[in-house]
């Protein structure tokens, strides 16, 4: 417990908060800039088990922002590269890796066995699938996305607040090689880790019904309050969202 002493002394955290983290299992989908940063802080905080999913191998162009993948890892599966660093950081962690694309079929099983899902993806097809499966499975989904100096974060809780489709009904046009500053992805990944830790420990006020938009260029962090849409094709038809 010594390694967690500095967070256990946070008001309200204590041994109970730490135990809750240790008993938790988190799914991180995508091990790019967001997933690397989020999983690093979840592992350091003492989350008991991480399930890491990514079909890709490390490429040189990843290295400006995907901080778990180092120069020597180019060509390795991202799951292997990330898993190795996270275990070196915290040997108490249990890591399960899946070098595969998420699909409607495999995602249901992956989501079933975790407490929370963290968005480390880079496209809306994957994000909408995560949103939908998490709603159906009654699992919290922490969303993050970045471009350049811009980032956005929100937390989707099936029984409360809007889902991702309520906020973003349609995906933006696809871009090849979205520009991203590493520090933006690091920051948004950290915010996703923080939301996850808050939900797992019951501390603080999660970003439910609130979209945090951050602009690193002007260094503005702003919140847009967003309500659930009664006509949302995902959370209203499913009837799982509550009020």
Partner 1 sequence: MPVRVRLFGEFREAAGVSEISVDAKNVGELLEKLAEECGRLKNLLFEGGRLRKYVSIFVNHRSILEQEEVETQLRDGDTVAIFSPVAGG
Query: Which residues in this chain contact partner 1 in the complex, by CB under 8 A?
Result: 30, 32-35, 119-124, 144-147, 150-152, 166-175, 178-180, 185, 211, 213, 215, 220, 222, 224-227, 229-231
Q: How far is the CB of 123 from partner 1 (least distance, A)?
A: 6
As given in the structure block, the two tokens for residue 85 are 């660093």
CB of 11 to partner 1, least distance (A): 30
Torsion angle, alpha carbons of 40, 163, 133, 24, to 10: 40
Identify the sign of the CA torsion 221, 224, 225, 228.
negative
Query: Judged by CB, which is closer to partner 1: 16, or 223?
Result: 223
Residue with Cβ nearer partner 1 (46 or 144): 144
Q: For residue 28, which of 103, 110, 133, 149 has the smallest C-alpha distance?
A: 110
Q: Which is nearer to partner 1, 46 or 120 (CB)?
A: 120
In three-state secondary structure terms, 43 is helix
For partner 1, give the closer residue by CB, 71 or 222. 222
The strand pairing partners of 157, in sequence order, are: 160
Asked if residues 97 and 119 have their Cβ atoms less than 8 Å apart, the reply is no
Q: How far apart are the first and last CA of the chain?
A: 40
Q: How far is the CB of 103 from partner 1 (least distance, A)?
A: 18
Minimum distance, C-beta of residue 199 to partner 1, in the bound complex (Å): 20
Least distance in Å: CB of 122 to partner 1? 4
For residues 79 and 66, is the Cβ–Cβ distance under 8 A? no
Decide whether 122 or 195 has the Cβ nearer to partner 1: 122
């Amino acid at each position: 417990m010594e390694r967690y002493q500095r967070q256990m002394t946070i008001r309200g955290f204590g041994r109970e908060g730490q135990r809750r983290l240790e008993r938790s299992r988190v799914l991180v989908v995508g091990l790019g800039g967001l997933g690397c940063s989020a999983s690093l802080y979840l592992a350091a905080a003492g989350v008991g088990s991480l399930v890491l999913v990514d079909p890709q191998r490390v490429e040189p162009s990843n290295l400006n922002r995907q901080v778990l993948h180092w120069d020597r890892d180019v060509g390795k599966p991202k799951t292997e590269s990330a898993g190795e660093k996270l275990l070196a950081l915290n040997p108490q962690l249990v890591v399960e890796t899946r070098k595969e694309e998420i699909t409607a079929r495999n995602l249901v099983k992956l989501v079933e066995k975790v407490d929370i899902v963290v968005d480390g993806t880079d496209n809306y097809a994957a994000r909408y699938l995560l949103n939908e499966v998490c709603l159906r499975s009654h699992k919290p989904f922490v969303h993050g996305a970045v471009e350049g100096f811009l980032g956005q974060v929100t937390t989707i809780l099936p029984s409360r607040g809007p889902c991702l489709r309520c906020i973003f009904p349609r995906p933006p046009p696809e871009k090849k090689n979205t520009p991203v500053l590493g520090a933006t992805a690091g920051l948004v990944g950290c915010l996703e880790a923080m939301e996850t830790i808050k939900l797992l420990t019951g501390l603080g006020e999660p970003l439910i019904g609130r979209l945090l938009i951050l602009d690193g260029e002007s260094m503005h962090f702003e919140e847009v309050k967003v309500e659930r849409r009664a006509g949302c094709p995902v959370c209203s038809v499913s009837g799982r969202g509550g009020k």
